Chain A
Amino acid sequence: MSNKSIKSILLLIIAMAVVISGCTSHEQMSQKDKQSILINGSTSVQPLVEELAAAYKEINPYATIDIQSGGSGVGIKSAIDGVVDIGMSSRELKTDEKILKEFRIATDGIAVILNSQNPVNDLTLEQLRKIYAGEITNWKEVGGNDGAITVVTREEGSGTRGAFMELIGLEMLSSLAITQGSTGAVMTTVTSDANSIGYASYGSVKDNTDLKVISIDGTICNEENIHAGKYKISRPFLMVTKDEPTGLAKDFIDFILSDEGQQIVEENNYLKIKR
């Protein structure tokens, strides 16, 4: 390779790089006048909304839907401040937050699961809280066999864990609890340990025959009771906006509430909204 050919190859590479980067920014600039919205909020709702956005983009390819997280609190506050077009929340709005327009897109029940060999079929909310706080430590205290309770939980930061703790009124979880990183891992643990108790999204466990879903305060965990609000441990998935949504935001929310959108909700193991 001569001096000259090395230099000319390098020059060619640099030139190509410049041209290609120029092309990309050109495309982005012409896209600016297309529609785009910003969504943020609950980490529990986020995966579902990302699926819905991907499906929505198939019918409207020019839409840009930017989805970020931050938690339900952040989503609600951002919507109130008008910083985002839509906020995602996995809890009901408080009274002073009701100035927002809210659209329920799905319901998520959190089932309490036991090993199928465990004779216990029901727990009161109080007992459930005490078990997870580490105050009740043996199954015989709640009417089961004599055995130390293995408490299984999700990791800190998990939306399911946050919702579960809030809904049963627990501040600090027992530090003896076994932490697993996913719904699947929780289910596997409960299936193999006869003395364990765990919680997971209802949609993920409803068809599982190796586990037992128990009732809470006498209310069975099923679609009907979750919809009616009788099953206490459930949370709504909400999209909230500052004013009545228009343009792309309205179109996207309409899509989510349509049959097609609700189909995707169900495929992701959440409960559709009742019409």
Chain B
Amino acid sequence: MRLGEKITVKLLLACAGISILGIVLIAVFIFKEGWSIIGKTGIIDFLFGDQWAPTNGIYGIFPMILGSIYVTIGALIIGVPIGVGCAIYLAEIAPSRLSAIIKLGVEILAGIPSVIYGLYGMTTIVPIIRNIFNNQGFSILAGSIVLGIMILPTIINISKDSIEAVPKEYKEGSLALGSSHWQAIIKVILPAARSGIVASIMLGMGRAVGETMAVIMITGNSTLIPESILSPVRTLTGNIGIEMGYASGEHQKALFATGIVLFVFIMILNLMAKLMPNKVGE
């Protein structure tokens, strides 16, 4: 029926429209609520002010920006080598039975709710750090370890897929020319899969930046500029998550302003991912 088809098409268009509408509404709402505080405090003082004291009317989120950056970089340092290594192992080296077991493990890892990661971090990792380094335990290190584990499934799955997507001729050609398996992997397959691996890292980074619950439970949420990897820290997401419950008036608007900064961060990350060269050899 022509009419049936037309209606289906319109319905699907409506679905697409609602998805876009969702993000537009969220963006508009956040900007509307938070912009007045940025205007009042001045964008330089807001972004680079190093004191966050809403009860005294002081809103400076520089410590939080640094906190998000440090924890994310730490997570990538832990997650990327292990993740890409695991992906190579699964795609190229592992015998199929072992591969099945590891894949199952990765799938389960992906399904664990973030609050469980936070609980694990708070009751296991933080005390270990506390005992080894004789400090308060809540730190960038704790955040990086837990977030690193959290982003593993993302990096492993997408890297593995992109390694497996490399045409077999590349590897066969390399082996035929006399390279070892390992040389083939490093010199031919990985460069060919590069864009997919980079995409997986970008996605992992996005997940790490956006993680809230686990981070609140293990980083200590202190408002000072972190001095070392063992310092307690507060991330942008943690800032919103921990204070939103009680905030009202100006304080709440300041949290929305933090949301604006987060939004911009993620937009920049996505843009960087888009700008990555698509094909090999570019």
Q: A156 near B222 (CB under 8 angstroms)?
A: no
**Would A156 and B243 be within 8 Å (CB), given that A71-B248, A162-B55 are in contact?**
yes
Are A179 and B220 in touch, CB under 8 angstroms?
yes
Residues of chain B contacted by A127 (CB below 8 angstroms): none
- Contact: B3 with A3, CB < 8 Å? yes
B214: min CB distance to chain A, Å: 13
Task: Say yes or no: is A67 at the interface (Cβ < 8 Å to chain B).
Answer: no
Q: Mark the stretch among B103-111, B133-141, B153-161, B179-187 that contacts chain A.
A: B133-141
Q: Say which residue of B7, B216, B248 sits within 8 Å of A70 (CB atoms).
A: B248
B222 touches A175 (CB 8 A): yes
Distance from B1 Cβ to chain A, minimum over Cβ atoms (Å): 7
Chain B residues whose CB sits within 8 angstroms of the CB of A188 once the complex forms: 122
- Asked if B246 and A157 make an inter-chain contact with CB atoms under 8 angstroms apart, the answer reads yes
Check B51 for interface membership: any CB of A closer than 8 A: yes
Interface residues of A in 169-185 (CB under 8 A from B): 171-172, 175-181, 185
A78 CB-CB contact with B under 8 Å: no
Min CB distance B153 to A, Å, is 27
Nearest CB of chain B from residue A50's CB, rounded to whole Å: 14
B224 touches A176 (CB 8 A): yes
Q: How many residues of B contact A (CB 8 A)?
A: 36
B27 close to A (CB within 8 Å): no
Q: In whole angstroms, how far apart are the Cα atoms of A260 and B280 in the complex? A: 75
| A157 near B3: Cβ-Cβ < 8 Å | no
B232–A176 touching, CB < 8 Å: yes
Selected contact of A175 from candidates B122, B138, B223, B242, CB within 8 Å: B223
Tell me the bound Cα distance from A244 to B5 in angstroms.
69
Measured between C-beta atoms, what is the minimum distance from A137 to chain B in Å?
Answer: 12
Other-chain residue from B7, B53, B242, B248 in contact with A155 (beta carbon distance below 8 A): B242
Instruction: Give A159 to B243 CA distance when docked, in angstroms.
Output: 12
The count of A-to-B residue pairs whose CB atoms sit within 8 angstroms is 79
Which of the residues A158, A159, A171, A178 comes within 8 Å of B136, measured between beta carbons? Answer: A178
User: In this complex, what residue of A is CB-closest to B127?
Assistant: A192
Residue B207 interfacial (CB < 8 Å)? no
Q: How far is the CB of A183 from chain B (nearest CB, A)?
A: 13
Q: Would you list which residues of chain B between 1 and 17 have a CB under 8 Å from chain A?
A: 1, 3-4, 7
Decide: B51 and A180 in contact? CB cutoff 8 A.
no
Residues of A within 8 A of B138 (CB): 178, 189
A181 and B216 contacting across the interface, CB-CB below 8 Å: yes
Q: Is B24 an interface residue (CB 8 A)?
A: no
Nearest chain-A residue to B3 (Cβ)? A3
Is A181 in contact with B242, judged by CB distance below 8 angstroms? Answer: yes
Q: What sequence of 0s and 1s flags, for each residue 12-34 of chain B, a beta carbon within 8 Å of any chain A beta carbon?
A: 00000000000000000000000
Min Cβ gap A91→B in Å is: 15
Q: How far is the CB of B123 from chain A (nearest CB, A)?
A: 8
A-side contacts of B242, CB under 8 Å:
155, 179, 181
Residues of B at the A interface (CB closer than 8 Å) are 1, 3-4, 7, 51, 53-56, 63, 122-123, 126-127, 130, 135-138, 216-217, 220-224, 232, 234, 241-243, 245-248, 251
Q: Which 4 A-B pairs have the closest CB atoms?
A: A157-B246, A179-B221, A175-B224, A150-B136
Please name 14 pairs of A and B residues whose Cβ atoms are closer than 8 Å in the assembled complex, sorted by A. A6-B3, A43-B246, A155-B243, A157-B251, A159-B246, A165-B55, A172-B53, A175-B51, A175-B222, A175-B223, A176-B224, A178-B232, A181-B242, A192-B123
A contacts, CB < 8 Å to B: 1, 3, 6, 43, 69-71, 148, 150, 155-159, 162, 165, 171-172, 175-181, 185, 188-189, 192-193, 195-196
